[in-house]
Chain A
């Protein structure tokens, strides 16, 4: 009697690979062959519990049983303990879906990530894939936009602009060609959700883009992915090829007579190319210099044509909204922040990873309950939320509810949902200096407040750190911050003062020289 083939999941997510997932997959294969076990290894995306990577799962009758973090040296003992039947082992974490970190989440955008083989259409369709697209094909552009607007979805790239309103502008623009651009530049330090999604469930981004095309009349899409993400680039290219072959892209999508095609484009190591006008320049093969708005891209964008630019997560949230309805999505969240946000926990944190939760979860819950405090065991001193242009938040504000408006009230921002934890050893004057230095390095150079202000800001912080005329230099620094905030053309120069000022405000003791 032949035994059934046992399914084993070993992630191909870049973060999992960075701690040895390929070695684990090879070692499992080797031992299984040696002892004559029939196994099938599926390279899934990550479940987002990154401190447990490489996380190996075995499919059993009871569900998927997780083991992690697995090192190559553990594998023989896993076989000895009969992990193929889901038996106990010191690395056994029980049913994956029951691990509290995972069980407490509200996975909408990431509902399939880590669960499925990323480029299997059978898996995708089995778990709700394409239902949103089918509904979109059966209705009008106006109705799609109405649903997206009512869902309350706002841009996940940082600015939080209502997605439906942007789409409506593009729909109403009259042109012979329109474009959809997925912003996968994900330049903010401390963020990796776009990458995880593209590697773990690339089809959902394609589905969202096709729906955006149907809604606005665009027939060509671009995915602009930063070059630091070779795995995501590779997966997205495979996904696009597969969709072309399956008539999900091309001249006649699912026999509807509607056309849409997608091209994958690489960035080349410029943070500023995440800003939408800069990204469009880059997509045209030019220097990524910022352009003055208006005209806004939805009216005059790529090659002068109406163009929707949306973050990966915004687009990838659309299929479930179309599938389950505006009300379903809108029921999550609070105030003007509806739906869920993939939060990314990084830095000195014990349980780093991706947590998708409805807006309104507090920073403390994310950092302490999910995150488990610091990895180093030292007390937390500060958290930087929202990437390199985001504020440093002190303990006293950890009970803030995470939504666009509540964060703004405390002088912080959500950005792309990155949360970076620092322990008590952090020197906030040095972090402020780094913010200025980062702006100096990444400024596109178009306007003076940013190009020169960042250099002066860094030099002034050097003096403060060296204890030179601290009071006068702090005043000067504040003037520079004011000038950058008020006078910069885009948010690169305009928001760099946010980490600087918040560091001074909440951690003034570090600025005494």
Chain B
């Protein structure tokens, strides 16, 4: 996103600082991550300091400061998924060097282990199923 595009996103929210988290989501969705220049553009549009924006970005787990290599794979490490072997799936991902982000509950606790790839939710994700999904995603 160029500076003027970021300015447009901010303008959609009337340049209201209260919409900062929405704006950061939108920018990250377009760019894949939040670069320094993007953050400066947002700070300028909303008339807030760079310190403030860094404070917010660092507080929330969703925001990435580095470009992602592959899709964003979230893997649930919380109790209901632990109870059905979620830790095995997580360990398998690690062994296979599949880049994942730990999250604590995806709201699919009756059909765990749960995994989310970008915005797509999966249930009953055994190590074998994880391999199959990742393969299918990289093929498409």
B contact residues, total (Cβ < 8 Å): 43
Is B62 in the interface zone, CB < 8 Å from A?
yes
Q: Mark A161-191, 1 if CB is under 8 A from B, else 0.
A: 0000000000000000000000000111111
Contacts A284-B18, A285-B20, A347-B79; is A192 near B103 (CB within 8 Å)?
no
Is B83 in the interface zone, CB < 8 Å from A?
yes
User: A195 and B107: CB pair below 8 A?
Assistant: yes
Chain B contacts for A388, CB-based, 8 A: 78-79, 104
User: A15 and B21: CB pair below 8 A?
Assistant: no
Is B39 in the interface zone, CB < 8 Å from A?
no
Q: Nearest chain B CB to A16's CB is how many angstroms away?
A: 9
User: A287 and B108: CB pair below 8 A?
Assistant: no
B104 interface neighbour in A14, A347, A438, Cβ under 8 Å: A438
Is A45 in the interface zone, CB < 8 Å from B?
no
B109 interface neighbour in A51, A190, A227, Cβ under 8 Å: A190
A190 interface neighbour in B16, B18, B78, B120, Cβ under 8 Å: B78
User: B21 and A265: CB pair below 8 A?
Assistant: yes
Chain A contacts for B79, CB-based, 8 A: 189-190, 347, 384, 388, 420, 431, 434
Contacts A14-B121, A270-B59, A388-B79; is A418 near B109 (CB within 8 Å)?
yes
Q: Mark A43-70, 1 if CB is under 8 A from B, else 0.
A: 0000000110100000000000000000
206-235 of chain A: CB within 8 A of chain B = 227-231
Is B63 in the interface zone, CB < 8 Å from A?
yes
The distance in angstroms between the C-alpha atoms of A422 and B116, with both chains bound, is 23
Is A426 in the interface zone, CB < 8 Å from B?
yes
Contacts A285-B18, A347-B83; is A268 near B61 (CB within 8 Å)?
yes
User: B61 and A344: CB pair below 8 A?
Assistant: no
Q: Mark B4-24, 1 if CB is under 8 A from A, else 0.
A: 000000000000111111101
User: A229 and B107: CB pair below 8 A?
Assistant: yes
Q: Mark A332-348, 1 if CB is under 8 A from B, else 0.
A: 00000000000011111
The distance in angstroms between the C-alpha atoms of A422 and B22, with both chains bound, is 37
Chain A contacts for B18, CB-based, 8 A: 283-285, 303
Q: Nearest chain B CB to A304's CB is how many angstroms away?
A: 12
The distance in angstroms between the C-alpha atoms of A96 and B16, with both chains bound, is 48
Chain A contacts for B78, CB-based, 8 A: 189-190, 388, 438
A18 interface neighbour in B20, B56, B111, Cβ under 8 Å: B111
User: B107 and A442: CB pair below 8 A?
Assistant: no
Contacts A269-B61, A388-B79, A420-B109; is A285 near B19 (CB within 8 Å)?
yes
Is B110 in the interface zone, CB < 8 Å from A?
yes
Is B45 in the interface zone, CB < 8 Å from A?
no
A189 interface neighbour in B59, B63, B109, B119, Cβ under 8 Å: B109
User: B62 and A268: CB pair below 8 A?
Assistant: yes
A270 interface neighbour in B61, B81, B105, B112, Cβ under 8 Å: B61
30 contacts between A and B (CB under 8 A): A14-B107, A18-B108, A19-B124, A50-B111, A51-B111, A53-B111, A189-B79, A189-B80, A190-B105, A192-B107, A229-B107, A266-B21, A268-B25, A268-B61, A269-B103, A270-B59, A270-B60, A270-B61, A271-B104, A285-B56, A289-B59, A303-B18, A346-B112, A347-B79, A347-B112, A376-B84, A420-B79, A420-B80, A420-B109, A438-B104
Q: Which 5 A-B pairs have the closest CB atoms?
A: A352-B110, A346-B109, A189-B78, A285-B20, A268-B60
